[in-house]
Structure 1
Amino acid sequence: MGEVRLQKKLRQIENLEIKISLTPEERFKISRKEELRSRLAELQLQLSGPQQTPGILGDGKKEKMKRQVGDPSEAPPSQMSPASKIHRGENETKAQNTPGSPARQRQARADAAEMDRAQDGAKPGKVSQRSRDVSGSCPQQQLQQEEAEFTSLKASWEKARFRLRLLDGHNDIITSVVAVDNLVVSGSRDTTVKVWHVPTATEQKNLGGHTGGVTCLSAPPPEYCKRLAGSLSLSDKERFILSGSADCSVKIWALSTGQCVKSVYTFNAVTALCFVPEGDGYIITGSDGGKVQAWSWHSFQNCQSVNAHQEAVTSIQSQGPLVFSGSAEGGVSVWENRCSDRDPLKLLHHWSGQVTDLGGGADGRLTLSPRGDRVFLAYGRAWLKILHWRTGMMSKLTNHSSITGVTDCVHQTGGLLIGSSYDLASAESALNLFSLPQCRYLASLTWPNAPRILCFAAWTTGSGDHRWVTGGRDLIVWEQLPSSGKQRGDVTVKRDALMDSGFLESESDTEDDEETDDYEDDDEREDSRRDSDKDGGSGSWLRCLLQ
């Protein structure tokens, strides 16, 4: 079995392992995971050594350079031309590949920084002051200043220390986490929503009521909670949490009492949701069949239902009046919320899996995080994708130095971009930190026996320190420790030199992006066909990950 087949086999087994019910054949496949990891490690060790042929002395360094994927000296940054763009009333658009020299890459970073500052709503006075500074100094001085700021930030993260605390209570995989004040709320496939008090790391409430696995959570802003609390004769300080489930419902919970104050039946298994704080407020849900629906926060009535995607909607996020939805087949849709009682969502762009180059079929799991004109995409690969959603241009950001790495979630907090990383071959897990808006690699955070991270939430304390919570097999709170203290941290901070050169990689790297079944055994192909016939070929992402 070759290296590529072993990698894909391990990827298949990792996704299979998190199903609730397993057949004897599936249990046997999972039992072979360690054997396959050992074989992959041996094969990689063989390939990393000098290659020789009879009568010819092999140059180990040259051979290794030939096998290296994404060599920065041979694969300069570039952007691929988008494939067909699905846009109402418009023709397909095309763009040419543009090679990126180091100077152009630096200029692109500077342009991205300026664009993000404008889109993040910087105060006019600050913008004009920066314009005067730029006009009064040469570009070289600006580059030196930005490099000095980045060097300082990188050094501070290399010294960062975190204390980890396990929140023990769920008996199945944690699928979603959100932070509300000093509380962490987690949803799990065990059908429960739990509320945790962070300072004491204790379970505060167990919200039971769903009959299917909880797939997603969202927390409305305080002003929208106040409106609902008034209509329910509750305290105006009441906070609410939304939970979506495979039982085809969205439930609204009052955190102070732990009671379900409203349940909305959606007619479809809910696989993603978000709250859009525009106008009177909207709940946007995604289903296992690819449907996107809008619900009024005022009346809890359905405002719109659109068959937006071919497969399950796996991620929905909002940015001002914009709503972004991503699906299992790798497609991304961008919507504008017009704040109307009927059909509030207007489709602005739809980029198919051919454009994003993330086509993985019904078993895919896309997680997205928007920022200005860019959307960061995680899709179980060794890199993050960056979609420039107005044009369809794509670029890559290296998130793992090995092609056996996978990225399950991506998140932004403050000036940080955080991507989870899991190595299929070694079972090592980490969080990779990048500076925003330039997307430059800062450091990686890991600890012994770290589990695979499937979801992430973040907030900052009054003193500016970071607090994070990660979910997956385990639910863990990260508390940043003061740099001046003597308490020892639980997290190891390291840097991977191979990721320093991976700002924007060429789209034409040598990794096989398509998840084909050519590595499966004959019996596995037959099992897959039987499962597809039995279930009608729809919703397999939900069955595999969340049932």
Structure 2
Amino acid sequence: MGEVRKLQKKLRQIENLEVKITLTPEERFKISRKAELRSRLAELLLQLSGPQQTLGIVGEGKKEKMKRQVEDAPEALPSQTPPASKILKGELKSKAQATPAPAARHKETGGGGETGRQQETGEPAKVSDHCLDVSEGCPALTRTDPREEPQPPEEDREFTSLKASWEKAKFRLRLLEGHSDIVTCVVAVDNLVVSGSRDTTVKVWHVPTATEQKNLGGHSGGVTCLSAPPLEYCRRLAWSLSLSDKERFILSGSADCCVKIWALSTGQCVKSIYTFNAVTALCFVSEEEGYIITGSDGGKVQAWSWHTLENCQSINAHQEAVTSIQSQGPLVFSGSAEGGVSVWENRCLERDPLRLLHHWTGQVTGCKGGPGGRLALSPRGDQVFLAYGQSWIKILHWRTGTMSRLTNHSSIAGVTDCVHQTAGLLIGSCYDLANGESTLNLFSLPQCSYLASLTCAEAPRILCFAAWLTGSGGHRWVTGGRDLIVWEQLPSSGKQRGDVTARRDSRLDNSLLESEGDTEDDVESDDDYGNDDDEDKDSQSQEELEGQSGSWFRCVLQ
């Protein structure tokens, strides 16, 4: 495991180097070793995981990917698949003549669950009393009349149908070309997508035609975050500026310490707020008069009045850079590079509107020391989903501080950069350090049950995500990172082939676990993956040259 950790550390450092604007000859040499290091890491992971874990870790080439294409290997819809009870009934009639089913059959009983596994062990057809005793809580086995045909619960039928539909999902991908550097943030407004980049620009794209509408230049530093105020608050600002009541506005935060407000119809900056701190995260709170909440590279959280644009509050909330801020009604959630999460209540006051409800440190969340020090969050009710650069999605129950973990990758080589909720789905991005494959994993809400994984050959690492539904109910997503890509869902019944492979990784089934303590992978930082003097020296010298606080801020904006 020691060599695996060293290789992971080097690959992560190479990933960070690749997003830099300028490179030294020494850094270029390190990047040139990427394929060699990946090959060695894949070999070691294969040895550690065994033959049964080969699939999805090192990749078996295009042949295996083609086998997983849903459109090439369609499965029956739930309505065409006989219920588990009918399968069992047929087995009860013919079990005496039948030979025992192979072990691989166990996974194919779908809705039967434990019932299918118990009945396929090669035992006599008659359900014995002993079987009834040991299978309490399994309704199909405790029935005494074999003629009864129990139906799966409504929730199970809905999930089975949803899972089948996503296994057949087809998406068309379109590249939005225009940025000259890493895309750090995206947001959707109607049929428009707004993206921010380290190249200091904010661009507006018309999605149906995949064309750039406007280039909003005005920041002097990299753009780190975007937010779209609701239409009601846009109307208030438009009225004060004597603009059309249909005008939409976008907020952008930047390393130049400014938050700018842009009118989308004209592409003009109508207002600007100087925060005295490099802005690394922001959100809009739709309560009363409205508030802009910003986070800085030094860990400060600030509140600004939407009505007057004056500063209402400044709090030294975190020890390192604030990397994510999200709102949920009157609540505000902030996450930082050291792995801490704070929950705030907006009391809608002119002064000091934010009141701290809870603060959970990296010791509690288990997100301390993540690679690059970047924590992304997405709140839902009493839970907050956390992505922090490892193979897990953490789930913080923010009222109690208890943690759960959701497996987002089947090996320790997975890196989760962002997590997003849309239309009853939880979507986690995953990047495989071993083979460079980028994947979106889909889970159903609220149970967090695994549905499917979507991947595309040569897809870049996904650092930010936006999603919405079209008028016909189809999904349309935009992912940002090295490339800005639109994912448009195609009708499953159509003949058009998609650009995305939809597959299921059985190792992600039943992936929701209650945390009983952090694993070794959770608590170790990237610097703990073995001692490498050259890498450590490079890291230290880079920090001295950069002079910025917070490793995530250095990684994203250097």
Is TM (by shorter chain) over 0.5? yes
> Which residue number corresponds to residue 322 of structure 2?
313
**Which runs of no fewer than 5 residues in structure 1 stay unpaired?**
51-60, 65-140
Structure 1 counterpart SS, 2:521: coil
User: Is the 8 Å Cα contact of residues 328 and 362 (structure 1) preserved in structure 2?
Assistant: no
User: Is the 8 Å Cα contact of residues 370 and 389 (structure 2) preserved in structure 1?
Assistant: no
1:378 equivalent in alignment to 2:393: no
5 Å-filtered alignment, 1:8-407, equals 8-48=9-49, 144-360=153-369, 363-407=372-416
Deviation at 1:545?
1.4
TM-score by length of 1: 0.81
Q: Report the more deviating stretch, 506-515 or 360-369.
A: 506-515
Output the amino acid matched with 1:4.
Answer: R
Is the alpha carbon distance of 1:303 and 1:229 closer, same or farther for their aligned partners in structure 2, counting shifts above 3 Å? same
Is the alpha carbon distance of 1:49 and 1:250 closer, same or farther for their aligned partners in structure 2, counting shifts above 3 Å? closer
Counting matched residue pairs gives 461
Deviation at 1:537?
6.7
> Which residue number corresponds to residue 515 of structure 1?
525
CA distances 1:97-137 after superposition (whole Å, capped 9, x unpaired): xxxxxxxxxxxxxxxxxxxxxxxxxxxxxxxxxxxxxxxxx
User: Is the 8 Å Cα contact of residues 362 and 538 (structure 1) preserved in structure 2?
Assistant: no
The CA distance in 1 between the partners of 2:197 and 2:151, in whole Å, is 48
The CA distance in 2 between the partners of 1:337 and 1:273, in whole Å, is 15
> Which residue number corresponds to residue 83 of structure 1?
none
CA distances 1:459-481 after superposition (whole Å, capped 9, x unpaired): 11111111111100111111111
> Which residue number corresponds to residue 69 of structure 1?
none
User: Is the 8 Å Cα contact of residues 9 and 520 (structure 1) preserved in structure 2?
Assistant: no
The CA distance in 1 between the partners of 2:162 and 2:416, in whole Å, is 24
Structure 2 counterpart SS, 1:2: helix
Structure 2 counterpart SS, 1:517: helix
Output the amino acid matched with 1:385.
Answer: K
Deviation at 1:524?
2.5
2:461 to 452, 462, 478: 452
Is the alpha carbon distance of 1:143 and 1:509 closer, same or farther for their aligned partners in structure 2, counting shifts above 3 Å? farther
Is the alpha carbon distance of 1:374 and 1:487 closer, same or farther for their aligned partners in structure 2, counting shifts above 3 Å? same
The CA distance in 1 between the partners of 2:40 and 2:10, in whole Å, is 12
The CA distance in 1 between the partners of 2:419 and 2:167, in whole Å, is 21
User: Is the 8 Å Cα contact of residues 329 and 362 (structure 1) preserved in structure 2?
Assistant: no
The CA distance in 1 between the partners of 2:185 and 2:231, in whole Å, is 20
The CA distance in 2 between the partners of 1:209 and 1:520, in whole Å, is 43
The CA distance in 2 between the partners of 1:520 and 1:373, in whole Å, is 40
Deviation at 1:44?
2.5
Larger radius of gyration: 2
**What CA RMSD, in Å, does the superposition of the two structures yield over aligned residues?**
2.1
The CA distance in 2 between the partners of 1:184 and 1:516, in whole Å, is 34
CA distances 1:483-526 after superposition (whole Å, capped 9, x unpaired): 22222111110000000021225445453531152424213323
1:545 equivalent in alignment to 2:556: yes
1:7 equivalent in alignment to 2:2: no
TM-score by length of 2: 0.79
Runs of 4 or more, structure 1, over 6 Å off, are none
User: Is the 8 Å Cα contact of residues 362 and 539 (structure 1) preserved in structure 2?
Assistant: no
User: Is the 8 Å Cα contact of residues 411 and 417 (structure 1) preserved in structure 2?
Assistant: yes
The CA distance in 1 between the partners of 2:527 and 2:512, in whole Å, is 31
Tell which has more relative contact order, 1 or 2 (C-alpha 8 A, sep 6+).
1
Is the alpha carbon distance of 1:458 and 1:361 closer, same or farther for their aligned partners in structure 2, counting shifts above 3 Å? closer
CA distances 1:209-242 after superposition (whole Å, capped 9, x unpaired): 0000000000000000000000000000000000
User: Is the 8 Å Cα contact of residues 337 and 551 (structure 2) preserved in structure 1?
Assistant: no
Output the amino acid matched with 2:357.
Answer: L
Output the amino acid matched with 1:524.
Answer: E
1:410 equivalent in alignment to 2:419: yes
Deviation at 1:6?
1.4
The CA distance in 1 between the partners of 2:264 and 2:297, in whole Å, is 28
> Which residue number corresponds to residue 98 of structure 1?
none
